[in-house]
Structure 1
Amino acid sequence: MIIGIIPARYASTRFPGKPLIDIQGKSMIQRVYEQASQAKCLSEVIVATDDERILQHVQAFGGKAVMTHPDHPSGTDRCWEAYQFTVHGLQFKNSETTVNPKPETHYIINIQGDEPFVAPEQIDELGAVLDGSVELASQMIPVSDYEVLFDVGEAKVIVNQNFEAIYFSRQVLPFLKGVDPKEWHKHHIYYRQVGMYAYRSDILEKITKLPVSSLEKAESLEQLRWIQNGYKIKMGLTAYESHCIDTPEDVEKVLRLMAQ
């Protein structure tokens, strides 16, 4: 069984309250929820928030949501708390919890709360690699453009023959000696990370207890903490692009892209 969890914080430095912004008649969080709910691999979809306004809004349109602590450093940590609420009947409220044991869920997919047009098929692609032996998983797409390849905002990933991540970097790896950098993507298959993370429930518990690692701190990429501590990340190929909304200006940009 796979649970889809959508972390949704109200506070945002660049775009406060963005889960509740209107996008063609529906809030962003409602659009993400409805898209995720169409994924065949998910047994349940839950919004994990730190704000009562988001909680009430999700419940108002018929969605499921839980309140989580406001001080989580990442969506991964918020997913772990929400998973415990869902599986063990725990609900954060005024620092109190209640317990109501339920069957354990095997995998959790962390669905980005700022991708209102995420394809259900992309979620199913990720779900298809979760065979019980996979600890962690994500997705990648080949890079065929020089500017995208050298964009430090894009995390590139190197994989081994089993399509497990060896390393993630904002820089371009590997370096091609004797080749014009503008031609690198024509001589080597580079991948950039897109999409979501999936966690096996026992592994999710363990990685949320790890301290920030030196590689994670250097690159500002959370997944390097997991690799540095010996965990394996399975990378699945996808043809779906990620269209995130990080600023108010991104709304019109994403709408244009989806209309093409």
Structure 2
Amino acid sequence: MKPAPALSLTSLVVIPARLHSTRLPQKLLLAETGKPLIQHTYEAACQARGTDGVVVATDHESIESAVIGFGGDAVMTSESCASGTDRVAEIAQVRPDIDIFINVQGDEPEISAEAIETVRFLLETNPDVSMATLATPIRCLDKLRDPACVKVAFGENGRALYFSRSPIPFVRDGFEGHIDAEPPMFFQHLGIYAYRRDFLLKLATAPPSPLEQLEKLEQLRVLEMGETILVGTIAEPSIGIDTPADYAAFVRKIGNC
């Protein structure tokens, strides 16, 4: 089926930015590269074409000050926000002029313009879908078995069937003969989302669902609501900064550029 022609829709990239993190305290303000980490993510997001701006949605004045300091756009959100989705939804409440909101994680300083453009295009060309996300092939058995790597299974039409921390689909006869299959059989879910405004506001008010609570994956709430998540694929994931080692590697990479 050919996609519907692109509509003239407005879109905004929102970067939820929480100050406190467990494994790397105040990581978004780390600045060993000469720039705070949140600035790297903001500037990377600004490279995407076709959006109507980038804004940081934060819970702390120190991040707001840092963003304003480098010339970015920042908005303070409520301390009661339980997730990044809730922060994006707060922006949606005051931006009725925006049709599509794109949620980019604040700790992904190398997020590609392609990723943002792809997830936006999925909603622009599929008017019956309320939410879209991305995935990339898994080619390593250790990653496939790692519960920190979220997996997604989707149909030929790109519609998500399930997300899990367990390997999906499960291969009864063993994974070894299938990890290098073409086309790929296993996909890592990437933490970038695009939502239509009305659906985002509905999602933020829906209670956590049973499967979501078991897997600790918010996207399962969407499937349990009976909604569709469209999954696009890209060749390589961006590298998130979760640990001191991750940040040290990023600093070295920037220093060698």
Please give the TM-score of this superposition, normalised by the length of structure 1: 0.88
Name the residue aligned to 1:105: 98
Name the residue aligned to 1:97: none
In structure 1, distance between residues paired with 2:144 and 2:239: 17
What SS does the aligned partner of 1:235 have? strand
Q: 2:52 aligns with which of 39, 43, 47?
A: 43
Unaligned runs of at least 5 residues, structure 2: 1-9
- Contact 1:195–1:242 (CA under 8 A) maintained in structure 2: no
In structure 2, distance between residues paired with 1:149 and 1:13: 24
Unaligned runs of at least 5 residues, structure 1: 88-102
Aligned residue type for 1:196 = I
Q: 2:195 aligns with which of 179, 192, 199?
A: 199
- Contact 2:92–2:201 (CA under 8 A) maintained in structure 1: no
Query: How far is the alpha carbon of 1:218 from its aligned partner?
Result: 0.9
Percent identical among aligned pairs is: 40
Name the residue aligned to 2:128: 133
Query: How far is the alpha carbon of 1:20 from its aligned partner?
Result: 0.8
Aligned residue type for 1:37 = C
Name the residue aligned to 1:169: 164
Name the residue aligned to 1:92: none
Name the residue aligned to 1:66: 75
Name the residue aligned to 1:151: 146
1:123 paired with 2:116, answer yes
Q: 1:56 aligns with which of 43, 65, 78?
A: 65
What SS does the aligned partner of 1:245 have? coil
Q: 1:217 aligns with which of 207, 213, 216?
A: 213
In structure 2, distance between residues paired with 1:167 and 1:184: 19
- Contact 2:93–2:201 (CA under 8 A) maintained in structure 1: no
Distance change in 2, residues 1:57/1:256 (3 Å): closer
Please give the TM-score of this superposition, normalised by the length of structure 2: 0.89
Distance change in 2, residues 1:109/1:148 (3 Å): same
Query: How far is the alpha carbon of 1:12 from its aligned partner?
Result: 1.5
What SS does the aligned partner of 1:158 have? strand
1:208 paired with 2:201, answer no
In structure 1, distance between residues paired with 2:214 and 2:178: 24
Query: How far is the alpha carbon of 1:230 from its aligned partner?
Result: 0.6
In structure 2, distance between residues paired with 1:183 and 1:151: 18
Query: How far is the alpha carbon of 1:19 from its aligned partner?
Result: 1.2
Q: Deviations over 1:88-116 (max 9, x none)?
A: xxxxxxxxxxxxxxx52110000110011
Name the residue aligned to 1:15: 24
- Contact 1:107–1:201 (CA under 8 A) maintained in structure 2: yes
In structure 1, distance between residues paired with 2:69 and 2:251: 25
1:231-246 alignment runs, 5 A limit: 231-246=227-242
Deviates more, 1:16-25 or 1:224-233: 16-25
Aligned residue type for 1:159 = F
Aligned residue type for 1:128 = F
Query: How far is the alpha carbon of 1:195 from its aligned partner?
Result: 4.1
Query: How far is the alpha carbon of 1:257 from its aligned partner?
Result: 6.5
In structure 2, distance between residues paired with 1:71 and 1:248: 28
- Contact 1:36–1:45 (CA under 8 A) maintained in structure 2: yes
1:182 paired with 2:179, answer no
Name the residue aligned to 2:3: none
